[in-house]
Amino acid sequence: MTCEKGNPLDESRIGLQNKNSVDNKRMELIFTKTLNKALKGKNISQVAREIGMPRNMLHDWTKAKRVPSLANIKHIQKLADYLEMTLEELLVGKSEKKTISCLSFSDEGREYKFLIERTK
């Protein structure tokens, strides 16, 4: 089994904001749509508090007033983890991976999750 090599924070790979990109507006709309679908039924203030990100940043992302940038990649990753998504799924709305099975449990206050994913 081979793994793709490369920098996972490369803007062109994960669809982060690029001011020179022709597709930037399309990416913003995809991100906002994907985020709103994943957050459906969740309280934005509570989610922001739980993952330690500014509430106004998350709110602005859901209203397409602001888009993610490399400056806030830690918040994006925490949000993706909280929503049980990959960065790719959250930022561009798709992934080649498909979860086949998932097992979650907690032990001594710590949460664990095992995923079996199809990668191709």
DSSP helix/strand/coil, 12: helix
Is a pLDDT exceeding 90 seen at residue 48?
yes
**What DSSP line would sit under 53-95, residue for residue?**
--HHHHHHHHTTSS---GGGHHHHHHHHHHTT--HHHHHHS--
49-81 pLDDT, tens digit each: 999 999 999 999 999 888 888 888 999 999 999
Is a pLDDT exceeding 70 seen at residue 9?
no
User: Domain coordinates of the chain in residue numbers?
Assistant: 11-94
Could you tell me what percent of the chain has a pLDDT over 90? 32
- Mean pLDDT (the chain) is 78
- The CATH code for residues 11-94 is 1.10.260.40
